[in-house]
Structure 1
Amino acid sequence: MNNQAQRWFESAFRSLLGTPLAHWLETLPQQMRTFESQGKHGEFDKWCRMLEKLPQTTPSGVNFSDAVTIGEARDIDSYTEKQITGLLKQFMPWRKGPYSLHGIDIDTEWRSDFKWDRVVPHISDLADRLVLDVGCGSGYHMWRMLGSGARGVYGIDPTQLFMIQFQAIKHFAPDNNIHFLPLGIEQMQPLNAFDTVFSMGVLYHRKDPMAFLEQLKHQLRRGGELILETLVVDGDENTVLMPGERYAQMRNVWFLPSVDALTKWLERLGFVDISLADVNRTSLEEQRATEWMTSQSLQDFLNPEDLSLTIEGYPAPQRAVLIATRK
C-alpha cells in the first residue's frame, strides 16, 4: 500500500475505535486495501510524491469557524510561499473552497463559503457530533463542520484528486479528527450511527434518487439530521424535470425535483420534521473561473441573452437546502 495513503486510512480507522462508528471497521479496512490494489487513478502515486514535497510549517493559528484559514503570510519566507503555491497548482482544478494557507489564497471555482453561510443558521448545533459529508469534494465544508465543534468529521467521495487536495490542506493542520475516504455512498454499509449527514450537490447526479436518499437515511442514527442540498425547479409536488443529454453542459444530471416533490420523497422514506432552509439561484459571483480553475464555468453554461436559462434552454441552476430528521 502507498505509505502515505496507508497513514491516512489507518488514522481514520483509529478514530473509529470506541465510538458509535466502530462497526464501520467490519468493512472499511478491506475496502481501502481493495482501493490500493485495484482502484487507484493512474496519477495517484505521482500526486502523493508531490504531496511529500510540501514543506513543514508552523502555523501561527488556524480558523475553521469563519473560514478555512491556516497560518499567516508572516509564518513563511518568500521561497516557501512560491514552493507551496507551485505544488498546490499541480493539483488543479480546485473547485470547492476557498482556502488560505499562510497567506496563499486558493481562489476556487465555487465560493463554497456562500453556501455554508446560507445553511449553517438552520442546522442543529454540530458540537460533539459525528458528521458524514457525502460527496465532500476537496473537503471545504468538512473543515467548517470541524470549526462548528464536530467531534469527528468523515467525508466520502470517489474522486481521487479531491482526496489529494484534501490531504494537501490537512498537511498544514494535521492533528484534527477529520478524514477523507475514497468511497461512494453505494459502498457504505448501513452504519445507522452518524448524528448528522450532509449531502450537498449530489442527488441530481444519481440515476435512482430514492435509493440514494435511502442510503443517506441508513447512515443516520434514529433522530439524526440530514442536510440535503440539490438542484430544484419551480412547481408542485408532481413536478420533476428530467433534462436531456446535458443540463448546464453537465452530462450526468438526472432528476431536478421541485421542493414540494423532494419533500414528498423524503416523507415517503420515513423522514420527519422536514423543513426548507434555503432556495438560491446560483450567481456568477458564487461559481466562476479563476486562476485556480481556468476552464469554463457557470457563465459559459447560461444563455448569454437570458441568464435565467441554461444554454440548453432549461431553468438556470437553482439550489434548495432541506433539513430532515430520521424517524
Structure 2
Amino acid sequence: MNNTLPAFSEFYTRIASTELGHWLTTLPAQLAQWQQTNKQELQKGLKLIGKLPDLDADEVDLQTQVKIGSGQKVEEYTQKQITGLLQRFKPWRKGPFHIHGIHLDTEWRSDWKWDRVLPHIRPLANKTVLDIGCGSGYHLWRMLGEGAREVIGVDPYLPFFLQFQAIKHFYPAGNINLLPLGIEHLPELKALDTVFSMGVFYHRRSPVDFLYQLKGLLKKDGELVLETLVIEGDEHSVLVPGERYAQMRNVWFIPSTAALTQWLTRVGFSDIKVVDINQTTVDEQRSTSWMTSHSLANFLDPADQNKTIEGYPAPIRAVLVAKAG
C-alpha cells in the first residue's frame, strides 16, 4: 500500500492554499503513522470496499436524508452483492443510509438528532466545517447537503473510517473527508467557521480542556455546536458516574445545562444558547439487522425507563450553540 491514501493526498492539495494550510506541517506524518499502525486491517477493509460495484447515482439527496441512488436501475443481484459487502462492516451505529435502494437501518436515528440541531445553527453554505468524533460520518453528509464548502470529520476508530469510505465509494465528492485522528492530534487551527461536537463531551476526562481545544479550532466569531448528555440541576450540578453509565465505561462528566453554560463562558465563548433538550428513546437508539448487539433498551432499568440500569437518570441530550471569542 502507498504511504498516502489517495483521499488524503487530494485533501492535502485542497487545503494547501487555504487557512488550513499550516495543518500540513503535522497532518501527513500523523496519518502515515495511523496507516502503519492499522496496516493489516486497513488493507483488508479497503480490499472489501474495492469489491463494491461502480454505479452512477441517478438520484442524490443529502438535504432531507442520505440517499445515493434510487435503486430503480440496479439489478437485484447487484443490490444483494452490495448488501453482503456492507454487512461485513457491521456494526453500523450512525445513520440511516439509503444506497441504491438498500436501507442501512443503523442503531441510531442520527437524522432525528440532525433535525433537532439544524434549525438553530448558522447556515453552512460555503463554510468550512469540522465534526469532532464524527463516527462513520453520517452528519458529514448532511453538512454537505447544506452546501458546506469543505466538510471534515475526525474520528480515530478504524471501523468508522472504513464505513465512511464504503459510503463515499458511491459518491466520491472531494470536499468531504474523514481523517482518522482524535482531537488531541489537532493543532490550534483557528480557521473553521463551524465546529460540531456531538456525543463526545462526556467521554473526555478533562471537559474544560476539551472546550479550550474546541475554541482553538474556530476562527474568531466562529460557531460551536455542542451536543452532549446533561442532567437536570443548577450551575453547580454535575454527575460523575461510577464505572459505567448506561453500560458505557468511559463516561466522566455529565453537567447540567446551567453548569455547561458557565464552563463555556469561563473558556471564552459568548452568545451561548441551549437550543434543544431531548430524552433519548428506544425508538431513536435500538438494535437492528445492521447492529445486532444490545442497545438502549438493554441499558435502561426495565421497571423505570427514566433510569439507567445502574440507577442514574436516563440519557437526556442537550444542544448548545456558542460563539468563539
Shorter-chain TM-score: which interval? over 0.9
4+ runs of 1 displaced by more than 6 Å? none
Who is 1:89 aligned against?
Answer: 87
Who is 1:31 aligned against?
Answer: 30
Structure 2 Cα separation of the partners of residues 309 and 2 of structure 1: 50
Structure 2 Cα separation of the partners of residues 176 and 79 of structure 1: 29
Structure 1 Cα separation of the partners of residues 32 and 296 of structure 2: 38
Who is 2:101 aligned against?
Answer: 103
Structure 2 Cα separation of the partners of residues 193 and 174 of structure 1: 25
Structure 2 Cα separation of the partners of residues 59 and 313 of structure 1: 48
Q: Deviations over 1:270-292 (max 9, x none)?
A: 00000011000001110000000
Structure 1 Cα separation of the partners of residues 267 and 207 of structure 2: 11
Residues 64-75 of structure 1 aligned to structure 2 (within 5 Å): 64-75=62-73
SS in 1 for 2:5: helix
Equivalent pairs counted in the alignment come to: 325
Report percent identity of matched pairs.
57
Q: Deviations over 1:231-285 (max 9, x none)?
A: 0000000000000000000000000000000000000000000001100000111
Structure 1 Cα separation of the partners of residues 31 and 179 of structure 2: 8
SS in 2 for 1:18: coil
Give the AA of the match of 2:43: D
**Structure 1 length as normaliser, TM-score?**
0.98
Give the AA of the match of 1:15: R
Say whether residues 1:153 and 2:151 are aligned partners. Answer: yes
Q: Give the C-alpha shift of residue 41 in structure 1.
A: 6.5
The answer on whether the counterparts of 1:229 and 1:319 sit within 8 Å (CA) in structure 2 is yes
Gap regions ≥5 residues in structure 2: none
Q: Deviations over 1:109-143 (max 9, x none)?
A: 00000000000000000010000000000000000
SS in 2 for 1:43: helix
**Structure 2 length as normaliser, TM-score?**
0.98
Say whether residues 1:9 and 2:5 are aligned partners. Answer: no
Farther-moved stretch of structure 1 (166-175 vs 14-23): 14-23
Task: Pick one of 276, 280, 283 that aligns with 1:282.
Answer: 280
The answer on whether the counterparts of 1:59 and 1:75 sit within 8 Å (CA) in structure 2 is no
Residues 234-249 of structure 1 aligned to structure 2 (within 5 Å): 234-249=232-247
Q: Give the C-alpha shift of residue 79 in structure 1.
A: 1.3
The answer on whether the counterparts of 2:274 and 2:320 sit within 8 Å (CA) in structure 1 is yes
The answer on whether the counterparts of 1:238 and 1:261 sit within 8 Å (CA) in structure 2 is yes
Gap regions ≥5 residues in structure 1: none
Q: CA RMSD in A?
A: 1.0
Structure 2 Cα separation of the partners of residues 205 and 42 of structure 1: 28
Who is 2:309 aligned against?
Answer: 311
Who is 2:221 aligned against?
Answer: 223
The answer on whether the counterparts of 2:239 and 2:254 sit within 8 Å (CA) in structure 1 is yes
Q: Give the C-alpha shift of residue 176 in structure 1.
A: 3.8
SS in 2 for 1:218: helix
The answer on whether the counterparts of 1:230 and 1:319 sit within 8 Å (CA) in structure 2 is yes
Q: Deviations over 1:181-240 (max 9, x none)?
A: 000000101100000000000000011111111111100000100000000000000000
Q: Deviations over 1:140-162 (max 9, x none)?
A: 00000010010000000011100
Say whether residues 1:294 and 2:305 are aligned partners. Answer: no
Q: Give the C-alpha shift of residue 30 in structure 1.
A: 1.2
The answer on whether the counterparts of 2:134 and 2:140 sit within 8 Å (CA) in structure 1 is yes
Who is 2:127 aligned against?
Answer: 129
Who is 1:254 aligned against?
Answer: 252
Say whether residues 1:324 and 2:319 are aligned partners. Answer: no
